[in-house]
Amino acid sequence: MLDELIWETRLERTGFFGKISTTTLRYFYAMTRDFFSGQLTMRAMSLVYTTLLSIVPLLAFSFAVLKGIGVFSELEPYLNNLLAPLGEQGENITNQVLTLVDNVQGSVLGGLGLAFFLYTAISTVQKVEDSFNYTWYVTKSRNFARRFTEYLIVLLVGPLLMVTALGILTSIQSTTVVRWVITNEALGPIFVLGGQLVPYMMISSVFTFLYMFLPNSKVNFSSALIGGVAGGFMWATVSAIFAAFVIYATRIQQIYAGFAVALMSLIWLYLNWLILLIGAQLAFYHQRPAFLRTGRQEPRLSNDVRERIALNIMFLAGKSFLTEKNESTIEKISTELGIPAIAISPIVEALEKAGLVKTTVKEEILPGKDMASIKLSDILDIVRSQGETGSHQTPQWTTKIDDICNDLDVAISNVIDNQSLASLLKETST
């Protein structure tokens, strides 16, 4: 009954509020299903572990950039605000972090120290990308060259963008007009309220940027923005709830004593990562609502469909190569064929393993060798006879059935007649 209410159009046909209710129910159903499947929570816990290993070099590297341009001391109030839900422990952690980074000398970031910091920081961002790729059903990460370059840009540009945002906020607050607005009885409270919302807006902006940049897939700005705003709202709500919990959870401090700070920090890290992943999942569903009902259930394809997919992949890759556009990616093939990328990726991997295609730095799929030497029978062989696990004994087919199957193989061979990918492309171009 509930399934019919959510997915049928009966409620949707009742009018505007019916459409809103149906859409809300569908998103709520999909997000609840994904949450209780355990994958998002497991990945959030994995990111907590990664954060604990990398937090020192990551902060030291990023803050060293800020320290080098002379704005390091301005971070304290913003770190305090970010860790406010931890109460007094948040202030202690802020002071310890600032003291730690302040003690980092330039010599530490030289030679092997710099290499270790870079490796740890990049591996952390890679872990986040892998989690985002999971939510976006992306089976293939960026190659190492792209990953290293783009992650390094994030680590260097991120602190500079932070400084720019803080500088803009400071300059706005110091203007005469703003000071007059603050002292105005009518506009002052509104401006103060807006100032209190600035941290949440910055969190939403960071979430939106991460949703657009990190997944190895093209993400629409509108979808990333919806996920970012929802993530920022959830972060603000959970922060308020967690702050109240910390204030009244005196028993935890009595039981765990000095370990209470570590325990609270772990819980807070877990909630932050979980919120980030939930927002990413929401952004994915907004861009691809067709997955709301099925979720991560991989489509079950018949052998006939898999054969057609393999031939189409090779055809589109060859056509893109001949036109010198080199625009044949998994996402574009998925869009053109109307088949989810999650179903196409394993076939691309099988073709690549057989040497029939290769993937460039920009994730473009190109023929792996001379197209005149790529027989259509070789392409079909990838999905018709390769990939089986076999059995412990040689199967004993019924003679009559085995003869029929052999006749089918001969019939397919006669239809293809040693045709190559090059000849197929030549026929379609004339």
Angle at CA 396, nearest 5°, toward 395 and 399? 135
pLDDT at residue 120, as a whole number? 72
What pLDDT was estimated at residue 323?
A: 81
Domain count, the chain: 2
Question: Tokens at residue 89, please?
Answer: 């422990």
Same-domain check for residues 284 and 310: no
367 plus 273 within the same structural domain: no
- 320 and 206 assigned to the same domain: no
- What lies within 8 Å, CB to CB, of 218 at 6+ separation is 331
User: What pLDDT, on a 0 to 100 scale, did the predictor assign at position 106?
Assistant: 47
Global pTM value? 0.67
Return the CATH number at 367.
1.10.10.10
The confidence score (pLDDT) of residue 89 equals: 62
- pLDDT tens across 384-421, in order? 776 565 555 667 788 888 889 888 888 887 888 778 88
Q: Which long-range contacts (CB under 8 A, 24 or more apart) does 366-373 make?
A: 366/317, 366/320, 366/321, 366/326, 366/328, 367/314, 367/317, 367/318, 367/321, 367/421, 370/422, 371/318, 371/321, 371/420, 371/421, 371/422, 371/425, 372/420, 372/421, 372/422, 372/423, 373/420
Q: Are residues 249 and 117 in the same domain?
A: yes
Question: Residue 136: what are its φ and ψ, rounded to 5°?
Answer: -100, 10
Say how far apart CA 320 and CA 298 lie, in whole Å: 28
Which residue from 156, 64, 55 is spatially nearest to 105, judged by alpha carbons? 64
Both 289 and 330 in a single domain? no
Are residues 262 and 284 located together in one domain of the fold?
yes
pLDDT at 185: 60
What is the model's pLDDT at position 224?
92
**For residue 2, is it within any domain?**
no
Nearest residue to 351 (alpha-carbon basis) of 323, 382, 309: 382
Domain interval for residue 66: 37-293
Neighbouring residues of 154: CB distance < 8 A, sequence distance ≥ 6? 125, 213
End position of a domain, from candidates 238, 259, 293: 293
pLDDT of residue 16: 74
Fill in the DSSP letter of residue 83: T
From the list 46, 5, 1, the residue with the least C-alpha distance to 28 is 5
Q: Which residue, 429, 419, 342, is CA-closest to 379?
A: 419
CB 320 within 8 A of CB 366: yes
**End position of a domain, from candidates 224, 259, 293:** 293
Asked whether residue 261 is assigned to any structural domain, the reply reads yes
Cα separation of 138 and 118, whole Å?
25
215 and 148 in a single domain? The answer is yes
Residues 283 and 326 occupy one common structural domain: no
244 neighbors 87 (Cβ within 8 angstroms): no
Residues of the chain with pLDDT under 70: 1-4, 9, 12, 55-94, 96-114, 116-118, 121, 139-140, 143-199, 246-261, 296-299, 325-326, 386-394, 430
**Pairing status of strand 365-367 against strand 357-359:** antiparallel
> Do 86 and 246 form a contact (C-beta atoms < 8 A)?
yes
Judgement on whether residues 178 and 158 belong to the same structural domain of the protein: yes
Distance between CA atoms of 233 and 240, rounded to whole angstroms? 11
Question: In 3-state terms, what secondary structure has residue 358?
Answer: strand
- Write down the pLDDT at residue 312: 92
